[in-house]
A and B are shown apart, each in its own frame.
Chain A
Amino acid sequence: MSKHRIMGLFSDFEQAFAAIADIRANKIPGVSVDDVSLKSPIEHPEVEEVLGERPAHVPKFTLMGASFGITFGFLFLASAQATFLVQPQGGKPVVPLPTNFVLTYEMLILFGVLFTVISFLIGARMLRRRDTFYSEMVSLDQVGVLLVVDEKNVQPLKSLFEQHKVVEIREEVVR
């Protein structure tokens, strides 16, 4: 049985959410809310209540970046300062902690930010070719509900979308 990708474009969040609520209520057997992907011009504040809790791992990368920044920052400075061992220090410490705290702090932030951005690019699946289903109306004012379903569920899904005043339906066979 072939798989089909279907996207319904709705004129507002309310209609799109109503359609997703019906999917969540198992109105089409074999189609789960976990299969739903939403495309929208803004992020709706209650999207998680409709789609369910979905993971975003950005904070873990941020923590990694900040930890790396602290470690790298301090070691970089301390190793550079260690070259001063060949020079007279005049009684001052070779690795001065208050000074290094300031610079380590800057490195913490720099690498925290860099890792956050990198994790966003990976987690959000950026830098890829746009989906063939991409509609420019999504960046304007419409909300897209996208699913991959078995062939037998295509017609029921279309009917469900139509019940909720879908503006446009797009379909393609997944190869």
Chain B
Amino acid sequence: METKDINEQIKWAQINKDVLSSLVNPRPAYWVAVGVCLLLLSCAVVAEIYQYNTGIGTADLDWPQMWGLYIATFIFWIGMSHSGTLLSAILHIIHADWRKPIYRFAEAMTTFSLMTAGLFPVIHLGRLWNMYWVLPYASDRGAWPNFRSPLVWDAFAIFTYLTSSALFLFIGMIPDLAICRDNAKGWRKKLYTFLSMGWEGTDRQWRNFRKTYLLMACFLIPLAVSVHSIVSSDFAMSIMPGWHVTTFPPYFVAGALYSGCAAIITLFIILRYFFRFEEYMTIPILEKTCKLTFVIAMAWTYLLFAEFVTAWYGDDIPSKEVLIDKFTGHYAPYFITMVFFGSVMPFTLAFEKLRRHIPTMFVVSLLLNVGMWLERWMIVSPTLSFSYQPVAWSVLWPSIVQWAIVFGSFGWFGLLFLVFVKIFPSVSMYEVKEMVYHRRRAIEGDQAVAMHRRSSDPQPATEMPGA
């Protein structure tokens, strides 16, 4: 059974060769995936053109269902963006070196998820020519937007998060871009030369690089938490039944981490297959990611339960009615599926045999994310359907235009991601070299100690002194 995170005997030159070959030589399935993403994206483009020409009514967005799938999917993509940078930063600070082969694509996932999320408020506007209205700027009348509104906070927070995570991804990639520069030809050489910005690997560069990366990691952890807390404020600061809940910020952050971790598992398995990364994206690393996902899933389940209890034992009757309706009304099949996928399905991650079975983990990770997407839909729609005024109660099934754009967003994300991993190394070469180097030294150190120890030497202490 494979137990090592990485084979520490692998040569540095071999790491360069394996990762660089992934940039030119993927399996044919890679191109199939690109085709599927293009197809999904073209569906969304057609739907968006239709919505643009005909009007937002084609999406069946009408009072009281003003937000529909667009805002639910916006929250989903914001959430998806969390695990990449946040986990990379946390694991970097605590020196968990098993992150090294997988953090690059996880950070890329963050950046592209945010870019996908950013499309939805614009699409939801309907009037695309007014898309700049979502930015906080002074209007023609010199009036600034209402800074008390969490929607304005969203614009600030998402812009900050996108900028910071894109820079975190880019800065962390510079040493690898230099490796690519040294081995590339043609347009790739020009691109990598430009992006590597003259990196030579001097001690001065490494010294500054290490501090920069650490400081950025320190900034990104509270930033990521604040971003999804702010997104949760869009709901929690309203007085709508089912939304006005104090546990929403941690609940949203946990849900975001959960869906991000599940997405990391999915992309891990896909990249491992596409680029033959079996040496780097190993089963023990997959196992560790699965365990982390399981822990986060349990935290999310607890917070979900806390949300139910808050509504059930509170004296807000409309909130209780929304909760009852979620379990028994029109949305019950989706809500119960969400609870099953989100809270029951993760128990598959608790079993070692299943964690080590790649096809099972692939299916489970996809279903976990289906559950997380349903969760966002179940936050948005039931409350809008059954608000305070019975006269405004209505259940609207999203139109095909909404569905096409939602599915297309997965194509857009997938396409960005697949293009990225084809142009830039999805495994961090220099960090894997560090990982191999440290592990080799640790093993050699242990061996040296064992070889030099004689029976007459003092034995290592097995108990605490004075215990």
Contacts and interface: CB of A to CB of B under 8 A. Distances in A.
A39 B198 CA distance: 13
A80 B156 CA distance: 15
Contacts of A59: 211, 215
Contacts of A146: 202
Contacts of A28: none
| Interface class of chain B by DSSP | helix
Contact of A39 (B13, B164, B201): B201
Contacts of A127: 197-198
Interface stretch (A113-121, A150-158, A167-175): A113-121
Given A102-B230, A113-B216, A141 B207 contact: no
B226 interface: yes
A64 interface: no
Interface in A125-153: 125-131, 134, 136, 138-141, 146
Interface stretch (B143-151, B335-343, B360-368): B143-151
Contacts of B430: 41-42
A170 to B, nearest CB: 14
A113 B167 contact: yes
Interface in A97-120: 99-100, 102-103, 105-107, 109-110, 112-114, 116-117, 119-120
Contacts of A41: 12, 201, 430, 433
Interface residues of A, number: 56
B212 A119 contact: yes
Contacts of B352: none
B51 interface: no
A140 B434 CA distance: 12
18 contacts: A38-B203, A40-B201, A41-B12, A56-B208, A56-B210, A58-B208, A58-B212, A83-B138, A96-B147, A99-B148, A107-B156, A113-B167, A120-B212, A124-B205, A126-B198, A130-B200, A131-B200, A139-B201
Given A83-B138, A83-B143, A117-B212, 12 more contacts: A40-B203, A54-B203, A103-B147, A106-B156, A106-B160, A109-B226, A110-B160, A112-B215, A123-B208, A128-B198, A130-B200, A139-B178
Interface of B: 11-13, 16, 138, 142-144, 147-148, 152-153, 156-157, 159-160, 163-164, 167-168, 171, 174-175, 178-179, 182-183, 197-212, 215-216, 219-220, 222-223, 226, 230, 430, 433-434, 437-438
